[in-house]
Every structure is written in structure tokens, then in C-alpha cells.
A and B are shown apart, each in its own frame.
Chain A
Amino acid sequence: MSAVSIKNVSKEFKGGTKALEDIDLEIEQREFVSLIGPSGCGKSTLLRIVGDLIEPTSGGVTVNGKPARQARHDHDYGIVFQDPVLYDWRTVARNIALPLELAGWDRNRRSQRVDEMLDLVELRGFGEHHPWQLSGGMQQRVSIARALSFDPALLLMDEPFGALDEMTRERLNAELLRIWQASESTIVFVTHSIAEAVFLSTRVVVMSSRPGRVSKLIPIDLSQPRSAATREDPRFFELATEVREALHMGGGYDMPLAATGLSEGAT
């Protein structure tokens, strides 16, 4: 059974903007799939449709064989946004415990799980801090810990490292891979970064814009587990080039106009 099955999904926003057209995509259990494409290609919209946060205009999504709505009610989703979305009035520990509280876990079980999560994201000792006392990278790790705390079958991540500096981003990339391998989760990951998509994924979905379509599926056959050395592997460069070319073929990839030699009217 596929982890996620997207069938004929189209989305038209009020006012007639076609965000997505006829998206078909099957994601297998334990896959790490990145959606990459120019801004406005609807990759975030597609992620939200999978998570039942937005309804598609037509078509449907099933998650582990269930309709998306049912999956949401069964707490099958962990979500991480670009903004960590931590609640400032809660301590780090209580932020991580929030979904557990809502799912009715008792206090002992909650605090035991929070401790495990703090260890997992290497934030032991920060449980009683408030979010504003942490750096951006640490806040995002709390957000990931919260999303994983209840062992969701599917982790949806919308450019989670987009606001971080390059160094922090590479470190968190490696950390995320370690966490993914330690868990049973399937991950759908939206990103702007070619390097990030290739480094993390088992498969990259290249999208094109206006309307958003899947233009190419690129399996990433780099060996697991991946490390800093992976980024220097010649195969890594080949795959990155393949993704880059697919993005350009799809058109609309945000390159400086000077580099493309095109005037604005031509894009």
C-alpha cells in the first residue's frame, strides 16, 4: 500500500488562478520525497492538500489507504513549516507535548516522550526554556520534535530550513536524515534548494509552474546512509545537474534575467 496516493488532483483558487493541474503521484512507505520547483508552482499547495489543510478542486488523496480527511482525524500527520510556529507562552517541553496533550496522553507518558524527543533532536536540557531563548535552528529542531512526538506515519515539511543560514541548514539536513532513518516515517519535503533536495531524498519531484504540474520524477540512487562525503560524490553532481536541467525545461525557474538573456515579457 502506498503511503500517499495523489490522483488527478487539480486546484483552482477563487479568482480563477490555476495552482495545480492533474497531479498524479504515488509515494511508497519509508520514502523521502522532495517537491522542488519555482515559486508559484503550487508545491506548498500540494503539500497542504496531502495534509487535508486545503481541499482540492478535483481529484483525491489517500494516505495509507485512507482518505486524507480520515488520516488527519487519525493523527497521521506531523507538519513542520518554514516558520517554527512555536507557542511563545509554552516552554520547549510543553510545545513538544502539545499534540500529546490533545491526543489525551497522561502526564507521565508525555514527559517520558518529551525527554526522548529532546534527546533525538539534541536539545537535552532545554526543555524548560522558552522558544525566544533559542536560536532559529534550535527552534526548528523543537518544531521537528513536536511533529515527531506522536509517531505520525507521514511527516510533511514545507521548506523547514529555508530561513536558516547555509551552515545550520547542512547540519540540520544531516540530522533530519538520521531522524528519518531512526523512525518509521515517510517524509514529503518542499524545498527551493537543489542541493538539499538531492542530498535528502530517495526521489525528487520536479514541478513546473502556471499551472503547477509534475514535470519530472528523478530517483536519487546515492547510497545510504549519507554524510558530508555524499555532497562531494560525482554522482551527487550528476543528479543535481539533472534536477537543475529539469527545472529549466519546465520553464519559469527563477534565474536572474541577465543570465537567461530574456526580457521580462518573454518569461
Chain B
Amino acid sequence: MMLARRARDWLPALGVFVAGIGLWQGFVKGLHVQRFLLPAPSAIWTAFSSNQNQLWHEGWFTFQEALGGFAIGCTAGILFAIIVARWDLLGSALMPYAIAANAIPIIAFAPITNAWFDPLTKTSKMVIAAVLCFFPVFVNVVRGLRSVKPEQIELMRSYAVGELTVFRLVRVPTALPFLFTALRVASVLAMIGSIVAEYYGGSLDALGANIEQDASLFQFEKAWAEIIIASLLGIGFYLAVVALERLATRWQPREEIVGA
């Protein structure tokens, strides 16, 4: 019953998907669009299914870079945020720079990190992904830890408990929604960072290096198939973070995304 309703809720979106693919196919075939401009979905599907093993191998390689960078960057962001939120002076010294750094296109450093680390290793890509993830997590967690209302602290003070208890019982739960907002952004940034860094040179086991190579060798169908893999992994990563968020903040009121 519930499942049937869920399925019905998704039906319009599914309809749009099918219609979109159909229009694309008709557009490319009907107007004889050149394959280097836009290949037909059927041609992309052929390239996808005949290269499946290689594609998933590349995808997994890149995903490991993204996941590694995500883990390093987010952990560092959380730790720094805890320190900065605790000691105000440190916060007022560092926060302006963190907010500024959050606004600069860090991805522009990708060729530099390739020069610092061996471009064929996963490390060079993890570094850029980690730096990309660090700032939004850092800034948001500091905000979260500080958004506790003064009365909440006063109430805890009236119970005569220590700072650590206040941190555990009040600050951490208050900061959780802020953290997860940042983690969602970071999951996307980690994938973008890894793939773009691979464009500037990387192992041919990686998705980005292959997209770049296939596009320059006129293998557009395969490049599109690789983009689809990247998209699937990106969406999967994002949804995993969302699932974790729902688990960790079950108490929050939330709207259903589809239907009511």
C-alpha cells in the first residue's frame, strides 16, 4: 500500500525522464546532429554497455579519490571548527580568512597540487578534494556550534554541569543540521574536484583522464558514457550523505520531497 503510493508519487518524474530521452533521440536522429556535438542516447548506451567493466573500474578509482578527500577534508574541518568555536580569540583571528577562502575557486589550484604530488597517484587528487571539502564544513560547523541560544547555556549552568557535558548535550546536536548541510555540499565538491584535477593529468585508471582523452580522440560516445558514470556516482554519494543525515537527525521536522 505504502509502496504503491510511493511509486505513484514518482510516476510524473519518471514520465519526464522517458520523454526527455525520447525527445533527445528524435532530435539527434531527425536533424542529423553531428556525433561530436551530441551523440544519440542509443549510441551512448551502446558505448556504455560494451565498455561496462572498464567504466566501472575508472569510476571506482575516481570515487576512491573523492571519498578519501572528503573524509580527510571533512574531518579536518570539524576538528578545526571545534577548536575555533571554543576559543573566541582564535575564531576572530581565523574566521575572516576561512570565509574568504570559502569563496575562492580552489579548483584553480588543481594543476599546482598535480605538481606537488605525483599526478599518477590518488593522493594528488585527494588533496584538492580535501581542500575543497574543508572550508564549507569548517565555516558551517563553527556557525552551528555557536548558534546555541544563550538561555540553553544558562539552563545547563543552572544544573551545574561542566563544559564537556554542555558540548555533548547541547552544542553537538545543535550543530548537526549545519554539519550535514555542509557534508552534502562537500560530497558534490569532492567529485568535481577529483574529476577536474584528473583533466590536468592523471592515471588512465581514472574517469577524468579518460573523459579528456576520449573527447580529444573523437570517442564522444565513450566520453558521454563516462560522464554518466560520474553522474551516477555523484548522485549516489549525495544520497548516501542524505540518508546518513536522516538517520542522525531523525528528530527534525521535515517535508516530504515528493508528494505529501
Contacts and interface: CB of A to CB of B under 8 A. Distances in A.
Interface of A: 48, 51, 53, 72-73, 75, 77-79, 81, 83, 85, 87-91, 98-99, 102-103, 130, 132-133
User: What is the size category of the interface that chain B forms with chain A?
Assistant: 10 to 19
Contact of B173 (A79, A83, A87, A99): A87
Contact of B154 (A79, A99, A103, A132): A79
Given A53-B158, A75-B159, A90 B149 contact: no
Contacts of A133: 253
Interface string B215-254: 0000000000000000000000000000000000101110
B253 to A, nearest CB: 5
B170 A75 contact: no
A79 B155 contact: yes
Given A48-B154, A75-B160, A102 B251 contact: no
Contacts of A88: 251-252
B161 interface: yes
Interface string B147-166: 00101101101111100010
A99 B154 CA distance: 13
A105 to B, nearest CB: 13
Residue of B152, B173, B251, B252 with highest tally of chain A CB at under 10 A: B251
A257 B252 CA distance: 45
Interface string B169-182: 11001001000000
A102 B155 CA distance: 12
Most buried by B among A53, A73, A98: A53
Report which residue of B154, B161, B173 has the largest number of chain A beta carbons within 10 angstroms of its beta carbon: B154
Which of A78, A89, A130 lies at the interface centre, i.e. has the most chain B CB atoms within 10 A of its CB?
A89
Interface in B99-137: none
Contact of A77 (B149, B152, B158, B249): B158
| Interface residues of B, dominant DSSP | helix
A53 B160 contact: no
A99 to B, nearest CB: 6
B173 A89 contact: yes
A161 B169 CA distance: 26
Nearest to B252: A88
Given A53-B154, A87-B152, 18 more contacts: A48-B154, A51-B158, A53-B157, A72-B157, A73-B160, A75-B159, A79-B154, A79-B155, A79-B158, A83-B149, A83-B151, A85-B149, A85-B152, A89-B176, A89-B251, A99-B159, A102-B159, A102-B165
Contacts of B159: 75, 98-99, 102-103
A78 B155 CA distance: 9
Contacts of A103: 159
Nearest to B251: A89
Contacts of A51: 158
A87 B170 contact: yes
Contacts of A102: 159, 161, 165
B251 A85 contact: no
17 contacts: A48-B154, A53-B154, A53-B158, A72-B158, A79-B154, A81-B151, A85-B149, A85-B155, A87-B152, A87-B173, A88-B252, A89-B252, A90-B251, A91-B251, A98-B159, A102-B165, A130-B251
A83 B169 CA distance: 19
A48 B252 CA distance: 31
A176 to B, nearest CB: 19
Given A72-B158, A89-B173, A132 B151 contact: no
A78 B161 CA distance: 14
A130 B252 CA distance: 9
Q: Which 3 pairs from chain A and chain B are nearest by CB?
A: A89-B251, A89-B173, A73-B160
Contacts of B161: 102
Given A83-B151, A102-B165, A89 B249 contact: yes
Contacts of B160: 72-73, 75
A98 B159 CA distance: 10
A11 to B, nearest CB: 16
